[in-house]
Amino acid sequence: MTSPADGRQRWLTLLGRRWVLIVLLVVVWWVLATLLRGIHTLSLSTATDTWFTALLRELTAVIRGNRTESPVFIYLFNPIRVGIEGFIDSIRAVISVPAPGNLIPLMGWLGTLAVIALIVYATSNLRTAALCTALLLGCLVLGMWTYTLDTLAMTLGAVALSLAIGLPLGVWAGLSDRVMAALRPGLDLAQILPTLVYLAPLALVFLIGVASATIATMVYSIPICIRITAHAIRSLRASPLEAATAMGSTRWQLLTKVQLPMARRTIILGINQTTLAALSFVVIAALIGAPGLGKPVVEALIIRDVGDGIVAGIAVVLLAIMLDRATTAAVVHTDEVLDMTEHQRRLRRIGLVVAGLATIAAIIASRYLMWAAVVPERLDIGEQVGRIAGTVVTWITTNLGFATTGLNEFITVTVLNPVEGILANAPWYLTVIMISVLAAIIGGRTAGLVAVCLLTAIVVIGLWNDTMITLAQVLLATVVVMVVGVVLGVLAGRSTRVERALKPLLDAGQTLPAFVYLVPVLALFGPTRFASIVCGVFYAAPVVVRVVADGVRGVPAEMVEAATSAGSTRTQIITKVQLPASRRSLMLGANQGLIFVLAVVVIGGFVGAGGLGYLVIVGQSKPELAGKGLAAGLAIVLLGIVLDRIAQSGGRSRPTGQDRWAPGH
């Protein structure tokens, strides 16, 4: 029995609930968008400039015109470019690029392999060294040896430069709040900046080639290094620091004797992450002339040679695993050494000496014996692997094409087109207002304000319609990523077996260059917006699965036990305990998913997604559209900031029961 007053009360509570408000708003939006369909959509043909893109185009022309004369270039940019080129080329001269007239670089493949194995052995242990050797041999038999070493040289060079800048800055940011506050906007921006967006501006200043590729890689990896290093310093337990201060340490003593040694593990983890980030970027940087594995990967897309692309992709994954294990093992190693007996230590010393001698022998052999200098052709199975991979992909695309085309059309008609209709085919002001109001409801007043300002900015620079086309795809891809991520993440979080089975897939998914799956995706879905969504899902899902699985695993066991003993079914435990309790992780996952999806928006331009991604690509190849490309890059960044703001504050601001009822605060 409910009295009228109760009923009214219930309605009010219902309106107070956020999701009810959101649903109502979306319904209103949909009705208005349908009524006002096609009015003031600001749609613009690709070839048309706006005042802003024209300005940018002029600017690029001016920059290009000044590259040989302006003092800024002569005394700043050009020396930087020459210096970095020289640095990278000196590494490549040792392992991957023979001097003119020479057959091999400083040493042949056997020597290089032995040196790498020795370094890994010396910094970790024999087992890791063996694993790394095996992985490199894998790259070798795939016929990717020179490419692999070029990538390695680029990666190591970029990492060395990144660390030289990132570690001191990270330590400084860890020590000083002011420095952290100064760096934070840059770090935040770097996190949401899609990688492909800054290739063009960099190439404009530092030209196509090794230097631009290295700098772009550094732009990508330095923030990661700074972030983790600063975190390493900041998250140290307070009491040893206090104790060391109380014993009269100077700040320098505190840093060198206490903070850095204590933060060592995390800092090395930072180096590990920096390295992997650099590797993944060096592959992409093939677009602006980076040598290495990225080349066959990018070429594969262009000449539609699935096999070669997959082989190169596999080599990238092998190299990534190698770098990951080598740096991780270095951390574990120092702890292992502590537990070694004197006997073990002596054995290790002997082992190192033997390995050193073997390495010298290998280097000599690789300089004098043809088989050790140049990879023998009969070892190369890359072509066969490529052909097999190509056949498999062809089989899949011909036989699954039926189903995928159906899926593609179904999703496009029932979801994508209506969403795009609301966002892109409605008057721009309606969309700006609605998104901003939604942002304010979900993320708070600041998020709403950010949305209004930045969306208006996109309108002003003239890329509104393309941005909304992109947004529709990003939203849909994020939803799919979240569904996939939550399902797999919950499975992995609940079962170690599932987790172990998924791990290699996730590892590969996170390191495989997105270009590798473009061709199969194209073959399956054709040049459609859905193909671009599929790419985004592939790219972002591993991260989301990881984050969600971590969250589910992090739910205290007592909570689950309590729920079990209260008689919950498994579904109830998942939906009523594990998912709500890992809400923070879910929000983080959504945020990450969004950012990762956004990062491959540009890639979507290669498979018919249109929108901003296509503009970025077209701007890179057509000088007359350079301004549009740069503006599209900017629009992606602005859109990214808006989405990030909403998702991030959405994760933070929602009050939990505890916050609401906590007494006395």
Partner 1 sequence: MPLPAARDWRAASVHNPSMSAAPTIRVEGLWKVFGPHPQRLVGSPDADLSRSELRTRTGCTVAVKDVTFDVAAGEVFVVMGLSGSGKSTLVRCLTRLVDPTAGRVWLGGEDIVAVGSSRLRHLRRTKFSMVFQHFGLLPHRRVIDNIAYALEVNGAARDVRHARAHEVIALVGLQGYEQAFPEQLSGGMQQRVGLARALAVDPEVLFLDEPFSALDPLIRRDMQTEVRRLHRDLGKTMVFITHDLAEAMKLGDRVAIMRDGAIVQIGTPEEIIAHPVDDYVADFTRDIPASHVLSLGTIARPLATGEQAAEVALPAATIVRDATATILAADGPIRVVDGTTEKGVVGATDVLRLISGEHR
Partner 2 sequence: MDIHPLSTRGACRRNARPLAGLPGLALIVLALAACGGGVNEAADTAASPAAEAPAAETETAAPEPTLPDCGDWGIAMHAWVGYTASAQVVAEVAKNVLGCTITQTTLDEAGTTYDAMEAGSVDVIIEDWGGGRWQEWVDRGAIGEAGLNGNVGLIGMYVPQWMCDANPDIADSANLNKYAEQFITPESGGKGAWYEGPPGYTTIGEKMIAANKLNYKVINTGSEAALIDLFTKAAKNETPALGYFYEPQNFLAKVQLCRINFPANDWTDAAEASGLTDYPETPLVKLATTTLLESGSPFATLVQNFSWTNADQNQVALDIESGMSPAEAAQKWIDANKDTVNGWLAGTGASVE
Among all chains, which residue has been given the structure tokens 């970025």? 616
Nearer to partner 1, 164 or 247 (CB): 247
Could you say which of partner 1, partner 2, none residue 70 binds, taking C-beta under 5 to 8 angstroms by partner kind?
none
- Window of 20-28, 208-216, 574-582, 637-645 that interacts with partner 2 by CB under 8 A: 208-216
For partner 2, which residue of 30, 98, 219, 381 counts as binding (CB under 8 A)?
98
Binding pattern to partner 2, positions 295-314, x when CB under 8 A? x--xx-xxxx----------
CB proximity list for 391: less than 8 A, separation 6 or greater: none
Binding pattern to partner 2, positions 56-95, x when CB under 8 A? -----x--xx-xx---------------------------
Give least dist CB 119 to partner 1, A.
Answer: 24
Q: Which amino acid is at 623?
A: P
Binding pattern to partner 2, positions 537-566, x when CB under 8 A? ------------------------------
For partner 2, which residue of 27, 35, 39, 47 counts as binding (CB under 8 A)?
47
Give least dist CB 537 to partner 2, A.
Answer: 18
Could you say which of partner 1, partner 2, none residue 237 binds, taking C-beta under 5 to 8 angstroms by partner kind?
partner 1
Give, as ranges, the residues between 371 and 410 that touch partner 2 (CB under 8 A). 373-377, 380, 387, 401, 408-409
The C-alpha angle with vertex 418 and arms to 413 and 421, in degrees rounded to 5, equals 125
Give least dist CB 623 to partner 2, A.
Answer: 4
For partner 2, which residue of 605, 633, 640, 650 counts as binding (CB under 8 A)?
605
Give, as ranges, the residues between 235 and 264 that touch partner 1 (CB under 8 A). 237, 239-250, 253, 257-258, 261-262, 264
Count of Cβ atoms closer than 10 Å to residue 651 Cβ: 19
| Residue 64 structure tokens | 């290009």
398 makes contact with partner 1 (CB under 8 A): no
Could you say which of partner 1, partner 2, none residue 651 binds, taking C-beta under 5 to 8 angstroms by partner kind?
none
For partner 2, which residue of 26, 337, 350, 460 counts as binding (CB under 8 A)?
337
161 CB burial (10 A radius; 0-12, 13-18, 19+): buried
523 makes contact with partner 2 (CB under 8 A): yes
Give, as ranges, the residues between 217 and 276 that touch partner 2 (CB under 8 A). none
- Window of 13-21, 96-104, 154-162, 542-550 that interacts with partner 2 by CB under 8 A: 96-104
For partner 2, which residue of 4, 16, 71, 100 counts as binding (CB under 8 A)?
100
- Window of 185-193, 619-627, 630-638, 657-665 that interacts with partner 2 by CB under 8 A: 619-627
Could you say which of partner 1, partner 2, none residue 264 binds, taking C-beta under 5 to 8 angstroms by partner kind?
partner 1
| Residue 532 structure tokens | 């671009």
265 CB burial (10 A radius; 0-12, 13-18, 19+): middle
Alpha carbons 147 and 297: distance in angstroms, whole number? 11
Quick one: how far is CA 450 from the chain centroid?
24
State the DSSP H helix or E strand holding residue 263, giving kind and residue range, or none if neither.
helix 260-284
* Distance separating the N- and C-terminal Cα atoms of the chain: 38
The crossing angle, in degrees rounded to 10, of helices 464-494 and 529-553 is 40
Quick one: how far is CA 349 from the chain centroid?
40
Residue 551 per-residue DSSP state: H
Give, as ranges, the residues between 312 and 341 that touch partner 1 (CB under 8 A). 338
Nearer to partner 1, 251 or 503 (CB): 251
Smallest CA-to-CA distance from 137 within 145, 127, 128, 129 is with: 145
Nearer to partner 2, 515 or 596 (CB): 515
Alpha carbons 332 and 346: distance in angstroms, whole number? 19
Per the CB < 8 A criterion, the answer to whether 570 and 578 are in contact is no
Alpha carbons 280 and 319: distance in angstroms, whole number? 10
Could you say which of partner 1, partner 2, none residue 471 binds, taking C-beta under 5 to 8 angstroms by partner kind?
none
Q: Which amino acid is at 642?
A: V
Give least dist CB 549 to partner 2, A.
Answer: 30
Alpha carbons 471 and 426: distance in angstroms, whole number? 14
Q: Which amino acid is at 100?
A: P
Alpha carbons 513 and 220: distance in angstroms, whole number? 15
Q: Is the dihedral of CA 405, 599, 153, 213 positive or negative?
A: positive
- Window of 9-17, 183-191, 225-233, 341-349 that interacts with partner 2 by CB under 8 A: 341-349
Cα separation values, 264 from 81, 229, 372, 492, Å: 32, 9, 38, 30
Give least dist CB 268 to partner 1, A.
Answer: 13
CB proximity list for 580: less than 8 A, separation 6 or greater: none
Could you say which of partner 1, partner 2, none residue 606 binds, taking C-beta under 5 to 8 angstroms by partner kind?
partner 2
Give, as ranges, the residues between 27 and 66 that touch partner 1 (CB under 8 A). none
Give least dist CB 521 to partner 2, A.
Answer: 10
288 makes contact with partner 2 (CB under 8 A): yes
Per the CB < 8 A criterion, the answer to whether 466 and 610 are in contact is yes
Alpha carbons 48 and 463: distance in angstroms, whole number? 11
Give least dist CB 404 to partner 2, A.
Answer: 12
Among all chains, which residue has been given the structure tokens 């959405």? 650
Binding pattern to partner 1, positions 144-183, x when CB under 8 A? ----------------------------------------
- Window of 198-206, 232-240, 562-570, 572-580 that interacts with partner 1 by CB under 8 A: 232-240
Alpha helices by DSSP H, 369-513: 370-373, 382-411, 417-424, 428-443, 445-461, 464-494, 496-511
With helix as H, strand as E and coil as C, how does 625-658 read?
HHHHHHHHHHHHHHHHHHHHHHHHHHHHHCCCHH
Give, as ranges, the residues between 408 and 467 that touch partner 2 (CB under 8 A). 408-409, 412-413, 416-417
Give least dist CB 556 to partner 1, A.
Answer: 22
Could you say which of partner 2, partner 1, none residue 98 binds, taking C-beta under 5 to 8 angstroms by partner kind?
partner 2
Give, as ranges, the residues between 358 and 377 that touch partner 2 (CB under 8 A). 359-360, 363-364, 367-370, 373-377
Give least dist CB 255 to partner 1, A.
Answer: 12
For partner 2, which residue of 227, 231, 494, 529 counts as binding (CB under 8 A)?
529
Q: How many residues bind partner 1, per CB under 8 A? A: 21
Instruction: Write the DSSP assignment of 10-22 as a string of letters.
Output: HHHHHHHSHHHHH
Q: Is the dihedral of CA 508, 510, 516, 517 positive or negative?
A: positive
Could you say which of partner 2, partner 1, none residue 642 binds, taking C-beta under 5 to 8 angstroms by partner kind?
none
Name the residues that contact partner 1, by CB under 8 A: 237, 239-250, 253, 257-258, 261-262, 264, 338, 664
